[in-house]
């Protein structure tokens, strides 16, 4: 039966915007969901699901395992009935892990002998067929992910990729088994277990496949997946009497105040979004990174401008630039120093805007979002309505402050204005 003092689902996410992505999926189907940044210190939030956002995707495998086990213990104490290890829909990992080692450690800690592994997210073009991951119409190894600076993905065969990271036997739960329905999927899992397979890559090319997977895994303590499989879980929990879906799960407070956008992402999607805002004649201020490096009081200048311009309408403050411009700055300052200078400056601006009465803030960029959330002293976010796939509005827990945290390549070209239109 439902028990308001315990959570139903505990999620361990290997990065910050990935955590928001899976949280958004759960809220959409009526689970009240809170995302916590790192392992929480305070009491258990009143929610059906808690997503612990770690930064464990590219750390040393031993560190990722230790952080994931600590998160698991906290979620067990909070009463979670099932656990979910969330990774990226492009299976981002290094040769050493961390998907395999973390999945092994969680299975050991839970005393379990089996979990699926399924990064598929068909709504965002990520599908798995016969164990091979596609990004749109391309195999993963032909997609841009092959050039990723930290986690280059050069093999699309996920059975092989995962097997190289784990001591467990890795198998495949194939699409034609899923197509025959939940009972067939359960039998497929039983057959894999009988063969001593401990982790099975699961095919999924549609939301129907994800729903079958969620049902077939209902009795397993652990699911490992991208955000897709989460789509099917609330129905499963409702059927078991563990959840009363809440039609208002995505409702956040009306916070009033003024609104602003901060952008530190230089991805092509964000460049287009900044261009769209500027072309519409909305107020925008570009950070001069060279002046910033030279010691100019750029944050103060931007805040003084926003104090005047922001009285009437939302403002955009951005460091976003085209690749050639970014490269020029990086070769003068070094990529790390440039990144940190800009992140620090944007985080100070965000704090200044909130001090000045901004209550609805859109932030573009994964690292930029991390820096801003830290500067604002936010450690817990309640998840609201989805703006675009993978990007919901969120509310700083217990505060009249709404934040939309957009990772670089997400969102339609009019994302900023669209996001601000959704909240008041």
Question: Cβ 303 to ligand ADP, closest distance in Å?
Answer: 18
Tokens 């959330």 label which residue?
Answer: 373
What tokens were used for 3? Answer: 């028990």
CA distance linking residue 79 with residue 170, whole number of Å: 30
For 42, counting Cβ atoms within 10 Å of its Cβ (0-12 exposed, 13-18 middle, 19+ buried), the class is exposed
Tell me whether residue 258 or residue 369 sits nearer to ligand ADP (CB atom): 369
Binding residues among 96-155 for ligand ADP as defined by CB under 6 A = none
Binding residues among 288-327 for ligand ADP as defined by CB under 6 A = 289, 319-321, 326
CA distance linking residue 131 with residue 161, whole number of Å: 10
Interface residue with ligand ADP, options 408, 411, 419, 423 (CB under 6 A): 408
Interface residue with ligand ADP, options 343, 362, 393, 415 (CB under 6 A): 343
Tell me whether residue 203 or residue 367 sits nearer to ligand ADP (CB atom): 367
Tell me whether residue 161 or residue 321 sits nearer to ligand ADP (CB atom): 321
Question: Cβ 372 to ligand ADP, closest distance in Å?
Answer: 10
Please answer whether residues 360 and 423 qualify as being in contact, where contact means their C-beta atoms are separated by less than 8 angstroms: yes
CA distance linking residue 364 with residue 327, whole number of Å: 19
Question: Cβ 399 to ligand ADP, closest distance in Å?
Answer: 23
CA distance linking residue 351 with residue 317, whole number of Å: 13
Question: Cβ 413 to ligand ADP, closest distance in Å?
Answer: 15
Tell me whether residue 168 or residue 369 sits nearer to ligand ADP (CB atom): 369
Question: Cβ 344 to ligand ADP, closest distance in Å?
Answer: 8
Q: Which positions ≥6 away from 302 have C-beta within 8 Å?
A: 285, 287, 317, 349
β-sheet bridge partners, residue 286: 318
What tokens were used for 164? Answer: 């190289």
Instruction: Please tell me whether residue 338 binds ligand ADP under the rule CB under 6 A.
Output: yes
Tell me whether residue 124 or residue 168 sits nearer to ligand ADP (CB atom): 124
Question: Cβ 221 to ligand ADP, closest distance in Å?
Answer: 33
Question: Cβ-closest residue to ligand ADP?
Answer: 408
Instruction: Please tell me whether residue 339 binds ligand ADP under the rule CB under 6 A.
Output: yes
**CA-based radius of gyration for the chain:** 22
CA distance linking residue 287 with residue 394, whole number of Å: 26
Instruction: Please tell me whether residue 214 binds ligand ADP under the rule CB under 6 A.
Output: no
Interface residue with ligand ADP, options 7, 216, 274, 329 (CB under 6 A): 329
Binding residues among 368-407 for ligand ADP as defined by CB under 6 A = 368, 407
x-or-dash pattern for ligand ADP, window 263-292, by CB under 6 A?
-xxxx--x------------------x---
Tell me whether residue 140 or residue 321 sits nearer to ligand ADP (CB atom): 321
Instruction: Please tell me whether residue 358 binds ligand ADP under the rule CB under 6 A.
Output: no
Tell me whether residue 226 or residue 408 sits nearer to ligand ADP (CB atom): 408
What tokens were used for 397? Answer: 């827990």
Using CB under 6 A, which of the segments 118-126, 131-139, 359-367, 395-403 binds ligand ADP? 359-367
Please answer whether residues 184 and 156 qualify as being in contact, where contact means their C-beta atoms are separated by less than 8 angstroms: no
Question: Quick one: which of 267, 373, 372 has its CA closest to 320?
Answer: 267
Tell me whether residue 204 or residue 338 sits nearer to ligand ADP (CB atom): 338
Q: Which positions ≥6 away from 298 have C-beta within 8 Å?
A: 287, 288, 291, 292, 345
Tell me whether residue 234 or residue 370 sits nearer to ligand ADP (CB atom): 370
Using CB under 6 A, which of the segments 62-70, 157-165, 335-343, 353-361 binds ligand ADP? 335-343
Reported as type and span, the H/E element at residue 173 is strand 170-173
DSSP assignments along 334-400, one per residue: -HHHHHHHHHHHHHHHHHHHHHTTEEEEEEE-HHHHHHHHHHTT--EEEEEEEEETTEEEEEETTSS
Give the footprint of ligand ADP on this chain (CB under 6 A).
264-267, 270, 289, 319-321, 326, 329-330, 338-339, 342-343, 365-368, 407-408
């Amino acid at each position: 039966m439902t028990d308001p003092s315990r959570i139903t689902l505990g999620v361990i996410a290997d990065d910050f915007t990935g955590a928001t992505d899976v949280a958004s999926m759960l809220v959409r189907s009526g689970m009240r969901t809170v995302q916590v940044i790192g392992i929480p210190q305070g009491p258990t939030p009143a929610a059906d699901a808690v997503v612990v956002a770690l930064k464990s995707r590219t750390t040393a495998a031993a560190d990722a395992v230790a952080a994931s086990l600590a998160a698991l213990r906290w979620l067990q104490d909070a009463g979670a009935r099932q656990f979910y290890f969330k990774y990226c829909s492009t299976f981002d990992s290094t040769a050493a892990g961390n998907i395999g080692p973390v999945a092994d450690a969680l299975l050991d800690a839970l005393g379990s002998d089996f979990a699926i592994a399924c990064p598929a997210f068909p709504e965002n073009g990520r599908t798995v067929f016969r164990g091979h991951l596609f990004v749109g119409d391309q195999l993963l190894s032909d997609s841009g992910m092959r050039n990723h600076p930290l986690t280059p993905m050069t093999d699309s065969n996920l059975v092989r990729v995962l097997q190289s990271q784990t001591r467990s036997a890795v198998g495949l739960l194939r699409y034609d088994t899923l197509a025959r329905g939940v009972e067939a999927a359960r039998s497929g899992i039983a057959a894999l277990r009988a063969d001593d397979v401990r982790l099975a890559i699961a095919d999924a090319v549609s939301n129907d496949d994800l729903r079958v997977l969620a049902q077939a895994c209902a009795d397993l303590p652990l699911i490992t997946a991208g955000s897709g499989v989460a789509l099917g879980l609330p129905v499963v929990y409702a059927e078991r009497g563990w959840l009363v879906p809440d039609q208002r799960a995505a409702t956040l407070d009306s916070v009033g105040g003024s609104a602003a956008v901060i952008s530190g992402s230089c991805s092509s999607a964000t460049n287009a979004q900044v261009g769209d805002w500027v072309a519409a004649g909305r107020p925008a201020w570009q950070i001069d990174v060279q002046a910033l490096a030279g010691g100019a009081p750029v944050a103060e200048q931007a805040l003084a401008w926003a104090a005047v311009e922001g009285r009437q309408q939302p403002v955009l403050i951005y460091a976003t630039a085209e690749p050639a411009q970014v490269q020029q700055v990086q070769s003068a300052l070094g990529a790390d120093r440039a990144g940190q200078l800009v992140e620090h400056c944007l985080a100070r601006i965000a704090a200044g805007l909130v001090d000045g009465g901004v209550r609805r803030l859109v932030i573009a960029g994964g690292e930029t979002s991390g820096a801003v959330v830290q500067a604002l002293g936010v450690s817990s976010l309640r998840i609201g309505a989805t703006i675009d796939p993978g990007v919901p509005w969120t509310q700083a827990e217990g505060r009249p402050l709404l934040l939309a945290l957009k990772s670089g390549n997400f969102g339609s070209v009019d994302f900023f204005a669209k996001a601000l239109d959704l909240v008041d």
